């Protein structure tokens, strides 16, 4: 699984990363988690307001900090498909 966290490095983006890692740990799922801080790369995801969360190339949320439960649900959805 490939997870990208989009944001130029503000604390809100760091929080999304922290929650994502917690979600992965709680579900015991391995994934390639990377932060994307380059604005041009962020634009390629067509995400406009940061922080954004992208799982397997699909934009799951943008402009807000999703809850731990939401992130867990998205990870599980991606696992099944």
Q: Please say which residue, 28 or 52, places its beta carbon nearer to other proteins.
A: 52
Query: In the bound complex, what is the minimum distance in angstroms from residue 11's beta carbon to other proteins?
Result: 5
Which listed residue (1, 10, 39, 68) is catalytic?
Answer: 10
**Does residue 8 have an active-site annotation?**
no
Q: Which residues bind other proteins (CB under 8 A)?
A: 7-12, 15, 39-40, 42-43, 45-50, 59-67, 70
Catalytic: 13?
yes
Query: Is 28 within 8 Å of 1 (Cβ atoms)?
Result: no
């Amino acid at each position: 699984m490939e997870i990208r966290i989009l944001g130029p490095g503000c604390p809100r983006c760091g929080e999304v990363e922290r929650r994502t890692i917690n979600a992965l740990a709680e579900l015991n799922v391995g994934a390639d988690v990377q932060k994307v801080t380059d604005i041009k790369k962020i634009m390629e995801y067509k995400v406009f307001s940061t922080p954004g969360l992208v799982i397997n190339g699909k934009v799951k949320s943008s402009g807000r900090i999703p809850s731990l439960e939401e992130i867990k649900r998205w990870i599980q959805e991606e696992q099944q498909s």
